[in-house]
Structure formats: C-alpha cells, structure tokens
Amino acid sequence: MLRFALTRLGLVVPTLVGITFLAFFLIRLVPGDPIETMAGERGIDPARHAELRRTYGFDRPLYVQYGVYLERLLHGDLGRSIATSEPVASEFATLFPATIELAVAAILFALLIGIPAGIVAAIRRNSILDQGVMGISLAGYSMPIFWWGLLLILLFSVQLGWTPVSGRISVQYFVEPVTGFLLIDTLLSDEKGAFGSALAHLVLPTIVLGTVPLAVIARMTRSAMLEVLGEDYIRTARAKGLPPGRVIGLHALRNALIPVVTVIGLQVGVLFTGAILTETIFSWPGVGKWLIEAISRRDYPVLQGGILLIGIVVMSVNLLVDLTYGLINPRIRHVR
C-alpha cells in the first residue's frame, strides 16, 4: 500500500508543476503587454509603464520571473487582486466555503436520489420504471444547467414564489461568519429564522448543480448493479433462500457501490464547472462567480491564483479518491 501511495503521489508532482506553468504563463500569453492590458483602454503614460514593469518584475528574464513566482507561491503569496487590492489567497479562503457548501449539498442530493433510482432501475430491468429512470437521467446528463436554473427560477421563484431568486441568505439577517458554512453559522447564531432563510436559498442551486451528477450516478449505479446481480454469489444467496431485500441491500449493493464511489470522485471537476454556472445564475458568492467577474474585469492575479488553487483542490480530491480506492480494493494497488 505504501508503494502504491508513493507512486500515486509521484504522479502528482509533474501535474502540479504543470499547473503552476499554466497559471504563470496565463498572464504572459495575453497578447500585448500585461500592464497595458490591465490599464485597459485608458492607456498609460510611458514613465509609469516602465515603473510598473519594474515593480512587477516584467523586465527580467522569464525563468527569473518564474522562479520569483514559485518562491512567492511557496510562501503562500498569490498576489493581490487588482480590483480590491485584497490578497488573492484570503479572498479565495473567504469565498471557498460558499462553493463547498453548495457542492456538498448538490452531491448529497445526487446520491440520495441517484443511488435508489439506479437500484430500482436495475431490479426492474426493462420495465417502464427502468426506461423512465434512464430517459430522465439521459435528459439530465444532456441538460444545459444554466438554462435549467433559469427555468427553475421561472417556475418556483416567479410563478409559485416558494424560493428566493438569488443570494445565500435574506438581507435582514446578519450572521457572524465562524465556519463560513452558512447552514452551520446560522445554527450557531441566535438570529431567529436565519437558518430557514439560508436553507431556502440553498434549494434551487442545489438542484441545478446536482442534476448532472445525479444523472451520472443513477446510470452508473444501474449498470454496476446489473453486473453484480449476474454474479454467482448473488445466485447462491438467492438459492440459500435469503429474502430479496437482503440480497439486494447486503450482497449486491456493497459491491455495486465500489465503481459508484470512483465516479463520485470524478464528479469533482464536473461540480466545479457546474458551480461556475450555478453561482453566476443565482448570484451565489462563491469562487465560481468570483472567477467569472475576474475575467470581465481582467483581474489577472485573481484568475492566476484561482486556477492554481482550484487545480490543486481537484487534484487533491482525485488523489484522495485513488488512495481510498486502493485501501478498499487491494487489487488496484498492484496494477501498474
């Protein structure tokens, strides 16, 4: 296991270096001079331009610049946002919990509906129920979620008035940020009704962000279940006279869930992609919306830092999934 863990860790290093390359060159690949680009259409006078070039170190050779960039990174310095002058790392840290809260809610939603739906579809294979589940999940998989979000707002917020249109909590509540996760913070504070408000704001974004993972998980659970149900040990369990619920729940589901767990790990990247869109639609103050705003403001330090940090998060989660998988399933350790 140690050997497997070390090999897997070794694979992370080149990817990590690659992502720093990407983030580093992002700002330098933009056509024209980065300072002119940041100055925008107003232009900038030559003396100030030269001064800024020196301050930011753009006058030095690229490899020196990269070295300086790496050294700063290792000290946790990701630069400052041009728009707010705040350190990029601390902005990310403030906004990240909002994205995590949304992503966790979405994946729970996807699991709670997707796994049972997949099991039912597998047990009733080729029935109307199976075809319904598969049809809906194919539609979910093909869904342009930015449109799905607008439709849900149209129906639930505008027509029915059940849910708020945007944001994380109603403006009348002020909740002291302790963990950054509003559902927890509102419970800790003594504001009445704040928890309910936070929960109501979370519902629609959760559904929107959870739709694609839900579809993938339902499909995956169904096919994994079908495979397992054909195995000899299931026949043995049935032949022993075990009740069907026990066969499905205990013998089949456990083994079917192994590939499903891997798929959940792979959904992290999908969740981030979805979070960018979902946060934009619902004005959810997370890192996705932050990045999109950075683009329109040409706030390159934010983009640079955001890409690096999100890359690292996704990579760490994938690493964690692989290691857990190796722990659960000894066979995987000896591949490679």
Partner 1 sequence: MTAETLEAPPAAVPTATPPHPWRELWRDFAKNRGAVGGLALIVAIMLLAVFAELVAPHDPNLTNNAAFLRPPVWQAGGSWSFPLGTDAIGRDMLSRLIHGARLSLAIGVAVVALAIAVGIALGLVSGFAGGVTDILIMRAMDILLTLPSLLLAIVVVAILGPGLMNAMLAVAVVLLPHYVRLTRAAVIAERGRDYVTAARVSGAGSLRLMLSEILPNCAAPLIVQASLGVSTAILDAAALGFLGLGAQPPSPEWGTMLADAREFVLRAWWVVTFPGLMILMVVLAFNLVGDGLRDALDPKLKR
List residues near partner 1 by CB under 8 A.
11, 14-15, 18-19, 22, 26, 29-31, 126, 131, 134, 138-139, 141-144, 146-148, 150-151, 153-154, 158, 269-273, 276-277, 280, 291-292, 295-296, 300, 303, 307, 310-311, 314-315, 318
Cα pseudo-dihedral 7, 8, 10, 13, rounded to 10: 170
Minimal distance, residue 188 CB to partner 1, in Å: 31
Compare residues 43 and 144 and give the one whose CB is closer to partner 1: 144
Minimal distance, residue 114 CB to partner 1, in Å: 16
Compare residues 23 and 247 and give the one whose CB is closer to partner 1: 23
Residue 80 three-state SS: strand
Minimal distance, residue 154 CB to partner 1, in Å: 6
Cα pseudo-dihedral 240, 241, 246, 249, rounded to 10: 60
> Cα–chain-centroid distance for residue 121?
27
Compare residues 14 and 245 and give the one whose CB is closer to partner 1: 14
Compare residues 112 and 158 and give the one whose CB is closer to partner 1: 158
Enumerate long-range contacts of 281-284, CB under 8 Å, 24 or more apart: 281/146, 281/149, 281/150, 281/153, 281/166, 281/205, 281/208, 282/149, 282/165, 282/166, 282/167, 282/204, 282/205, 282/208, 283/166, 283/167, 284/98, 284/99, 284/102, 284/166, 284/167, 284/168, 284/205
Minimal distance, residue 80 CB to partner 1, in Å: 18
For residue 247 the two structure tokens come to 């066969």
Minimal distance, residue 69 CB to partner 1, in Å: 16
Compare residues 144 and 241 and give the one whose CB is closer to partner 1: 144
**What CA–CA distance (Å, rounded) separates 264 from 216?**
9
Minimal distance, residue 149 CB to partner 1, in Å: 10
Compare residues 58 and 173 and give the one whose CB is closer to partner 1: 58
Minimal distance, residue 208 CB to partner 1, in Å: 12
Give the count of beta carbons closer than 10 Å to the beta carbon of residue 280. 17
Compare residues 40 and 196 and give the one whose CB is closer to partner 1: 40
**What CA–CA distance (Å, rounded) separates 106 from 112?**
10
